[in-house]
Amino acid sequence: SAVISQKPSRDICQRGTSLTIQCQVDSQVTMMFWYRQQPGQSLTLIATANQGSEATYESGFVIDKFPISRPNLTFSTLTVSNMSPEDSSIYLCGSTDYNEQFFGPGTRLTVL
Amino acid sequence: AQSVTQPDIHITVSEGASLELRCNYSYGATPYLFWYVQSPGQGLQLLLKYFSGDTLVQGIKGFEAEFKRSQSSFNLRKPSVHWSDAAEYFCAVGGTTNAGKSTFGDGTTLTVKP
């Protein structure tokens, strides 16, 4: 299966700023997606990103807050905009391969 | 809408004892089912998956899970738990693998006593 890397692995940010998380896959994939895992909670899908089209956001998530780029078949970014302490979470990117889903190691974000 | 319920928030077992983690799902068609493990500070690792065929699936690290359609369940089992199995376990359901849109349960935290 493909291997996914994420940058940064963790960050501490100030309220009102923005952070862009990068996700790199070591092979070409059609679909990439972004999940959020708030402290002590499960994973919630933010959006699905296909190359060449706009991301599809799940209920409760909007593009202005979580803009996503997908410039090619191996890379995606998620920006967390105008951050507040409620955005403190682990953000995971992932993709699917035939018969398997796989995830990056996550980005642990703390907003002060 | 699809959903997953993991009834047990926290389970404690002694090392060497058997383990069963429960998972119930709701899905309108044939589900694709997954179990993941997340160790502290680590990402998600796929333990096993069910798509079709034999309802008893084998995974990594000695784990297995059984799909029971009549009970809408996909419980995870291990005959003898090791201290290194202490982690968070997530059950997930999805429509097709290429959809990528899995719904995760709230997770079960496993503590292993020496």
- Predicted confidence (pLDDT) per residue in A37-66, tens digit: 998 888 999 999 988 888 999 999 999 999
pLDDT greater at residue B20 or residue B52: B20
Q: Is the pLDDT reported for residue A74 higher than 80?
A: yes
B50 near A CB under 8 A: no
CB contact under 8 A, B98 and A33: no
CB contact under 8 A, B97 and A105: no
Candidate from A41, A99, A103 with C-beta closest to B97: A99
Q: In which band, very low, low, confident or very high, does the pLDDT at A99 lie, cut at 50, 70 and 90? A: low
pLDDT of residue B14: 97
Q: Is the pLDDT reported for residue B98 higher than 50?
A: no
Tell me which residue of B68, A98, B57 sits closest to B48, measured CA to CA: B57
Cα–Cα dist A19/A67, whole Å: 11
Supply B45's token pair. 């690792």
Q: For chain B, give the mean pLDDT.
A: 90
pLDDT of residue B95: 61
Q: Are A82 and A19 in contact (CB under 8 A)?
A: no
CB contact under 8 A, B44 and A41: no
Supply B56's token pair. 């008893």
Q: Hey, of B44, B45, B102, B108, which one would you mutate to test binding to chain A, going by the most A CBs within 10 A of its CB?
A: B44
Q: In which band, very low, low, confident or very high, does the pLDDT at A11 lie, cut at 50, 70 and 90? A: very high
User: Looking at CA atoms only, how far is residue A84 from chain B in angstroms?
Assistant: 22
